[in-house]
Amino acid sequence: MTVISFIGAGSVEFTRDLVADLLRFPDLGDVELRLHDIDDTRLRTAEGVARSIATQLGAAPTIVATADRRAALDGADFVVNIVQIGGLAATRTDFAVPAKYGLRQTIADTLGVGGIFRALRTFPFLSALAKDITELCPEALLLNYTNPMAMNIWYLSRVAPQVRAYGLCHSVYWTVVGLCEVMGVPYEEVDYHSAGVNHQAWLLSMERAGQDLYPLLDAKIDADPELRRRVRVDMYRRLGYYPTETSEHSSEYVPWYLKDPGEISRLRIPVDAYVAISEENVATFELTRDIVAAGGQVTIESGATEYAPQVIHSVVTGTPRRIQVNVPNTGLITNLPTGAGVEVPATVDRSGVHPWHVGDLPVQCAALNRSFLNVGELTVQAAVTQDARMIRQAAMVDPNAAATLTVDRIWALCDDLVTAHGDLLEPWTVR
């Protein structure tokens, strides 16, 4: 029997989609789904969702719901991490405190002060999870969805290199799907190559039947003024390679846009977008909770697009696949720092996950990635050494914060965020 543990299963939308994609593989054989969450209501809702999906798909997995993380991990073959430490309240804090300083953010889960403090809330949990995995299921693959992805993978490689951790994100897939719609080209006919860092990787090539599709994309952009009013398109036209995360995300990883109201208007940047998204997620959970409590069936999305089920299926059945994966940089991208969390293509088969060697990125792309990774490196190092000053130094080198605030205000902002997050952060974060 294949045992799959979902840690943070109360993230019901993720659990729904991942379980549905898993159960669409009849050749997986006997499967035990272990659902873990510390919130009983969310845990019971996740259990109801899993049972509803299994019934609708005609599958018969063993489903276990437990508030005991160690019980969920004991003997697991795969561990899927979808935890968000602090939930909606912490997200609101990550936006509200910087806003008082005039610092604009859009998503705040990957870079910037929001990404830094999300990492600081998450690292202690990752350390504890890695310790449990090492003891209870040392051969398991840890498939991480939790952001900030690059920082989390980098941190795990520092504190628990023995854990077989891989970061999974669907941003590259959905970027190519979206571009195919723009170009009027079937996704299934497109070959592409992407590498960089999570949420700031680059489409290094994009072809159909051996023909470069970038000229077609250029023609579509030239013909549509509204397409040009997006951050990613603006970056692509200046840098020559299309970035693989949304314009909302991309806007806060660089110093050029959010500091300027004119650019916000020109490029239609939705400041504070993630607060509304998070509130919608809570509303979706509450609706799902009520449906499950009433004995109704949850709606199953069309799927087979998430990477974790594909990884599990490939390892269990030996079916070869190619995906994107986040791993420590062991010379995979030769002009990015060694050890950094990078996103590269990978092959998956019965023997595991095999990241590809990429070589050098285009120099302009690598330059932006290094600015991104500078923030991550300082945040990881701050946690490993428990150096509170390094938290502030990480914020100092963040492109968006540095373009907007003086260093005194950056340090004061970090002090205020430490206070506002309170017990969600470790005592050493206080300066």
Angle of the 388-397 helix axis to the 363-385 helix axis, nearest 10: 160
- Helix, strand, coil shares of the chain, percent, nearest 5, are 50, 15, 30
Q: Say which residues have a Cβ less than 8 Å from residue 128's Cβ, sequence separation at least 6.
A: none
Half-sphere exposure of 217 (CA within 13 A, CB side): 24
Question: 């150096």: which residue's tokens?
Answer: 387
- Are 122 and 83 in contact by the 8 Å Cβ rule? The answer is yes
β 190-197/164-167 pair status: unpaired
β 62-66/31-36 pair status: parallel
374 belongs to an annotated ligand binding site: no
Q: Measuring CA to CA, how many Å separate 112 from each of 20, 80, 84, 372?
A: 34, 26, 17, 9
Of the candidates 364, 347, 352, 344, the residue with the CA atom closest to the CA atom of residue 237 = 364
Distance of CA 26 to the CA centre of its chain: 28
Angle made by CA atoms 207, 211, 217, in degrees to the nearest 5: 65
Q: How many residues would you count in the chain?
A: 431
199 belongs to an annotated ligand binding site: yes
- Are 355 and 195 in contact by the 8 Å Cβ rule? The answer is no
Burial class for 339, CB neighbours closer than 10 Å (0-12, 13-18, 19+): middle
* Annotated catalytic residue, options 36, 170, 193, 354: 170
63: helix, strand or coil: strand
> Tokens at residue 345, please?
């293509």
365 belongs to an annotated ligand binding site: no
Burial class for 184, CB neighbours closer than 10 Å (0-12, 13-18, 19+): exposed
Angle of the 112-136 helix axis to the 149-159 helix axis, nearest 10: 40
Known catalytic residue at 354: no
Residue 79 to residue 81: CA distance in whole angstroms: 6
Residue 345 to residue 351: CA distance in whole angstroms: 16
Of the candidates 201, 154, 171, the residue with the CA atom closest to the CA atom of residue 383 = 154
CA distance from start to end of the chain: 50
Q: Tell me, letter by letter, the H, E, C secondary structure of 265-320.
A: HHCCCCCCHHHHHHHHHHHHHHHHHHHHHCCCCCCCCCCCCCHHHHHHHHHHHCCC
Binding residues: 147, 169, 199
Binding residues for Mn(2+): 169, 199
Binding residues for substrate: 147
Catalytic machinery residues = 170
